[in-house]
Amino acid sequence: MTVSPPFSPAQAAATAEGDRMDVRLAGTWQITAPRPSWEGVRGAQQPARVRPTTDGVGKWDSSLLLFLFETQQWCRGTGAYFDGEALPEKIRTLLAQLAASHETSVPFDRSESFLTSVGLATQDTVVKGRAIAQFVGECVLGAIGLARSPRKFRWHDCFDEMQQCGAMALPIVSLVSLLVGVTLAYTGAIVLRQYGGDIYIADLIGLSMVREMGAVMTAVVLAGRTGAAFAATLGNMKANEEIDALEVLGIPPVQFLVLPRLLALGVMMPLLALYANALGILGGLIVAFGLLSIPPAAFWAEMLTIVDLSDVSTGVIKATAFGLIIGLSGCLRGLQAERSAAGVGRAATSAVVTALLLIIVADAIFAVVFNALGL
């Protein structure tokens, strides 16, 4: 059995002789343990010459250097002479390094003037705007190329993505849509009951789900689920140089990676929105039957008096546009990701935020346009 050597704490004792002070250092000096301070050792004395010795020091590390550096700096500040002759060579070398780095280190100023910040932000906005325009342009050209030679399209990848963003999203889309229908029905029932217009709950649910909520709620779910996944996948591929490998082979990443994902979302989003409409209406129907005692047949018949095919088609058009927005945001942010784990995370977050923002903007534009067209 080995026995650990006894641990003696760091000690510093000062002996004054005229204007000279001898500082005898002893014990174990470790950065993780407390150490004496120069001010404490010196007390009220003002020596003109300080001479540290380390004869009694056992194990030592940066802790001892910090004490000696503190002493040396005090001497420099007061004009006293720091006599390091009695210190071992390696301590003197490290002390010289510490003093040199202390003198030469200049804090890196990252602050910018207001004008610089505005200029850089403007430049950044222009660069980002140009990148978005270029990316959308590449996607359009790629889509034209796909129409010309569909055999070269990666259909297998596209079907895989359809399964991922479509079939695999069914459970969450079902739950969200059903609950949106239930919530709408409960909210509507509060007002409609007061006027004896219970039956019009069917019109409220039908119209709001088909024209608005089905597409928007599905888009919100897919922005979080699929848009983020696209950005993370492409960002990771960029970090692993997989995108570079495509470019070196002369294969445009847009053609290989983006178009299959865009097509998959463009196809699956309207289908999911139609499915969400059905589930939302079902949720409303359940509440209407349970809360307002409206028979399902009456609910259905009333709903058909106001919801027609043009309402359904507006929802489908919106859903397709939202799908493309989610796909474009996810892929663009993924391809723009920095080559690091943090960069991939930021790309995923940015993809979701960009998609949600653009979905709301597009929804407002659709509302104005459909109103102008009388749809």
Partner 1 sequence: MSDLVLPPPASANDPAIEVEKLQCGYDGKVVLKNVSFRVARGEIFFIIGGSGCGKSTLLRHLVGLNQPTAGAVKFFGRSFADAHPAARREVLKTFGMLFQGGALWTSLTLRQNVALPLEEYTALSAREIEEVATLKLAQVGLGGFEDYYPAEISGGMKKRAGLARALALDPEIVFFDEPSAGLDPVTSRKLDELILQIRETFGTTIVVVSHELASIFDIADRVIMLDRAHQGIIAEGKPRELAQRSRDPRVAEFLRRGDVLPQ
Among 249, 297, 309, 342, binds partner 1 (CB under 8 A): 249
Residue placing its CB nearer to partner 1 in the complex, 51 or 238: 238
With a CB cutoff of 8 Å and minimum separation 6, the contacts of 227 are 326, 327, 329, 330, 351, 352, 355
User: Is residue 303 classed as helix, strand or coil in its secondary structure?
Assistant: helix
Q: Does 307 bind partner 1 (CB under 8 A)?
A: no
For residue 244, the minimal CB distance to partner 1 (Å) is 5
Rounded Cα–Cα distance for residues 201 and 303 (Å): 9
> How is residue 169 annotated by DSSP?
G
Q: Give me the DSSP letters along 68-84.
A: HHHHHHHHHHHT-EE--
β-pair partners for 13: 24
Q: Does 240 bind partner 1 (CB under 8 A)?
A: yes
Number of residues engaging partner 1 in binding (CB under 8 A): 12
Residue placing its CB nearer to partner 1 in the complex, 157 or 212: 157
Residue placing its CB nearer to partner 1 in the complex, 12 or 165: 165
For residue 158, the minimal CB distance to partner 1 (Å) is 13
Q: Does 247 bind partner 1 (CB under 8 A)?
A: yes
**Among residue numbers 121 through 160, which ones bind partner 1 (CB under 8 A)?**
157
User: Is residue 33 classed as helix, strand or coil in its secondary structure?
Assistant: coil
For residue 234, the minimal CB distance to partner 1 (Å) is 12
**Among residue numbers 320 through 349, which ones bind partner 1 (CB under 8 A)?**
none
CA 62 to chain centroid, in Å, comes to 39
Among 248, 297, 342, 372, binds partner 1 (CB under 8 A): 248
User: Is residue 47 classed as helix, strand or coil in its secondary structure?
Assistant: coil
Among 17, 19, 112, 244, binds partner 1 (CB under 8 A): 244
Residue placing its CB nearer to partner 1 in the complex, 236 or 320: 236
- Which span (131-139, 174-182, 246-254, 333-341) binds partner 1, by CB under 8 A? 246-254
Q: Which helix (H) or strand (E) holds 21?
A: strand 20-29
- Which span (1-9, 218-226, 238-246, 303-311) binds partner 1, by CB under 8 A? 238-246
**Among residue numbers 8 through 67, which ones bind partner 1 (CB under 8 A)?**
none
Among 245, 360, 365, 375, binds partner 1 (CB under 8 A): 245
- Which span (76-84, 106-114, 179-187, 242-250) binds partner 1, by CB under 8 A? 242-250
Residue placing its CB nearer to partner 1 in the complex, 249 or 342: 249
Rounded Cα–Cα distance for residues 266 and 316 (Å): 10
For residue 247, the minimal CB distance to partner 1 (Å) is 6
Q: Which helix (H) or strand (E) holds 60?
A: strand 49-60
Scanning 293-308, the segments in alpha helix (DSSP H) are 296-304
User: Is residue 148 classed as helix, strand or coil in its secondary structure?
Assistant: helix
Q: Give me the DSSP letters along 79-117.
A: T-EE--TTS-HHHHHHHHHHHHHHHH---------HHHH
User: What does DSSP say about strands 11-17 and 20-29: parallel, antiparallel, or unpaired?
Assistant: antiparallel
For residue 256, the minimal CB distance to partner 1 (Å) is 8
User: Is residue 59 classed as helix, strand or coil in its secondary structure?
Assistant: strand
Please count the other Cβ atoms lying within 10 Å of the Cβ belonging to residue 197: 13
Residue placing its CB nearer to partner 1 in the complex, 102 or 152: 152
Among 131, 251, 360, 361, binds partner 1 (CB under 8 A): 251
Rounded Cα–Cα distance for residues 291 and 97 (Å): 81
Residue ranges that bind partner 1, judged by CB under 8 A: 157, 237, 240-242, 244-245, 247-251
